Amino acid sequence: MLETLTPKETEVLYMLIRGQNYRGITDWLGLDYNEYVKLKRSIFKKLNVTRMNELIYAIWTANLLEEI
């Protein structure tokens, strides 16, 4: 599941799962807002989710928290 993500997508996913907001993610990773939105959309598409709670549930049920 996570193997389809790029390293940058994995970093964003890690921060999203830990509750970081977009400003914290963009500041920490040196992204602009549009780059963040593209990465988040790509993550959601690859993991077949549409909302944040679905993302967290998918990661949790697949027992992938240790991999992130």
- The tens digit of pLDDT for each residue in 39-48 reads 999 999 999 9
Neighbours of 68 (CB within 10 A): 15
Question: For residue 67, what pLDDT is reported?
Answer: 58
Rg (CA), the chain: 11
One of 3.30.70.260, 1.10.10.10, 3.30.70.980, 3.40.50.10860 is the CATH number of 2-67, namely 1.10.10.10
Altogether, the residues listed in the chain come to a count of 68
| Distance (Å, whole) CA 1 – CA 64 | 9
Sole residue written with tokens 């928290």: 65
Q: What is the pTM of this model?
A: 0.85
Question: For residue 58, what pLDDT is reported?
Answer: 86
Question: For residue 26, what pLDDT is reported?
Answer: 97
Domain boundaries, the chain: 2-67
Residue 66, class by beta-carbon neighbours within 10 Å (0-12 exposed, 13-18 middle, 19+ buried)? exposed
Low-confidence ranges of the chain (pLDDT < 70): 1, 64-68
